[in-house]
Structure 1
């Protein structure tokens, strides 16, 4: 893994629709998680929070992952074994960790590509429309005819907590053995890449290897399947982002206290992961960088928690957007906390992703 302050030589980003203006300066390709440009490049900064990024000049956020139709049922409590209960309401909304994170990037007005698969069915159309309305670029979204669109049953309880059952569908089936040159090229031209664990590990490994070859940082959200993360994947990621439950499962260690979380993160460091971003729900978040003091971010309280679905995805994607725009790690954590606070106030995953202006307005009050 490269040094934390190294930057490779500038490399233009070629957008599929609008070729880069050759007279327009292009940002440096970021080689690691030190996203603040050195003094010699201050004349060519990344966009600030308040400005919309140019699609022509800025290396995009690329999200490779899952897209689901989330079937919501609102219940007072979960049913016991052998019990049937009635739901208050039921509806189907677009979701999936990959699609959630992509829409979050799009709504935060950062150029975002989604690489994923849906089926030729109504759920696939629902997701495609949600991605488009969220401002996501869909050049690399595939429609497959041999598998249904992935879906999930979300049991939403009155306190805002949820339990989820996932059916993989096109997220887990029909991927090519080797990703297309076009898909790998958009990864190599990214400013940052987001992965999750609701698609095959083999796909994530190919993407992470391609990103590393081009010095593009990779964040792996640990959410998804509960199997161990292959070492081959860990070797090629820059940030692992679990919640405390996922961290406990991945390390087989308790995560009830900050000390226990720190010890579990230490095990991740030994597995080769330099940065671990732990999402702690109502207790905020902590970014652990090997050899440095942890950076803690408290939660930005929401007036009322309606639905926590998608909050972790919002947090991860917002953190990635802030980093790639040149913000410090501490600033990026605060930006992500504000976005997540807004997310939990709206039902649904994709519908709850906040707009950039709303996040900025909230940041002015905290």
Structure 2
């Protein structure tokens, strides 16, 4: 993959924004502890269904490589409002509830519900929100051997302001997602990445963590997908050089390249900057306009949106799309099939409130694809 070249006039990607990986706040790293055993032991040969968590070895014997998601886990505090408050104004919410979420946990749960073996590497606090997330992930079929509790920091959380048309505004508090990571990840976490079929990353954890796992994946020939959602700052050059598929939405693409993305021609020009960065596949999420996969040297593959019968909540739709694309990719589908599979999953997601609760099961996605 080509190395990044600099772009005059593009502050988000300029040489002056080249920065070292985040310096992580110090805390009691020895107290960081896994919730379950690192890699679940294979069940006895006489009882193949004894454990709900098959080991990586057992999976690979059946030629099934897992998806590994490294990222954030949040407690999403939902408030349903008629409109956003103005500066200095207090308004009342119609309802409020707390649900499991976070881009990493969302994408991992999507993989689990799509019936693909999925591991999640992340951190939660030793608190009620952390237990809420653990239960949601486990209920979604996610393998939790690499999820750790960090008593020194609270579980990350987000305030999701949901409007009547299903659109949302979100404020994130990083908590355990952004601090108390060890300077060097445990070898067990890096090994699960090296043995994956695909690695899925986002930007709600420190860049230094993403760089470590992306480098481990690249060294083992594991494709790396980076969802651009999360931090607003420039993406470190070290991380971009390990990425195979870069997946921004149109707003993120505009911010990171300094170019407009309102028309397809403008999108194409912005994507060219990503090519110059060394990323040869760019998966752009376009909301109601669908999606497009740009592959350097080829014609873009466009995927129209698969219309939802109703739109209740767009929270998690982008995460569902990216994770479903990754699942289809590791299962050997063509790029066009991957886009269609992801579009169907996202269409089902927006019809249910909440992030993790809205992740569709595989049977529902297959049924929808058969009907369109």
- The TM-score with structure 2 as length reference comes to 0.85
Return the alpha-carbon distance in structure 2 between the equivalents of residues 279 and 187 of structure 1: 25
Contact 1:15 1:55 in 2 (8 A): no
Which residue is 1:353 aligned to?
A: 359
Q: Does 1:318 align with 2:342?
A: no
Structure 1 residue matching 2:145: 3-state secondary structure = coil
What is the CA–CA distance in structure 1 between the aligned matches of 2:103 and 2:358, rounded to whole Å?
13
Match of residue 62, structure 1, among 45, 68, 83: 68
Q: Distance in 2 between matches of 1:74 and 1:55?
A: 44
- Closer/same/farther in 2, CA of residues 301 and 228 from structure 1, 3 Å limit: same
Aligned to 2:14: none
Q: Distance in 1 between matches of 2:81 and 2:121?
A: 34
Q: Give the structure 1 partner of residue 342 of structure 2.
A: 336
Partner SS for 2:108: helix
The 5 A counterparts of 1:289-308 are 289-308=295-314
Q: CA shift at 1:17, angstroms?
A: 2.6
Does the C-alpha gap of structure 1 residues 20 and 332 become closer, same or farther in structure 2, counting only changes over 3 Å? farther
Matches within 5 A, 1:84-163: 84-163=90-169
Residue 17 of structure 1 aligns with which residue? 41
Deviation at 1:308, TM superposition (A): 0.2
Shift of 1:265: 0.5
Corresponding residue for residue 251 of structure 1: 257
CA distance in 1, matches of 2:196, 2:233: 28
- In structure 2, relative to structure 1, the CA distance for the partners of 1:234 and 1:20 (3 Å cut) is farther
Q: Corresponding residue for 1:83?
A: 89
Match of 1:231 among 229, 237, 241: 237
Give me the TM-score of the superposition, normalised by structure 1. Answer: 0.87
Aligned-partner Cα distance in 1 for 2:176–2:236: 22
Gaps of 5+ in 2: 3-37, 46-57
CA–CA distance in structure 2, aligned partners of residues 55 and 67 of structure 1: 27
Identify unmatched segments of 5+ residues in structure 1. 3-13, 22-52
Aligned to 2:207: 201
Aligned to 2:216: 210
**Post-superposition shift, 1:19?**
7.5
The residue that corresponds to 2:7 in the other structure is: none
Query: Is the 1:15–1:56 Cα contact (8 Å) retained in structure 2?
Result: no
SS at match of 1:299: coil
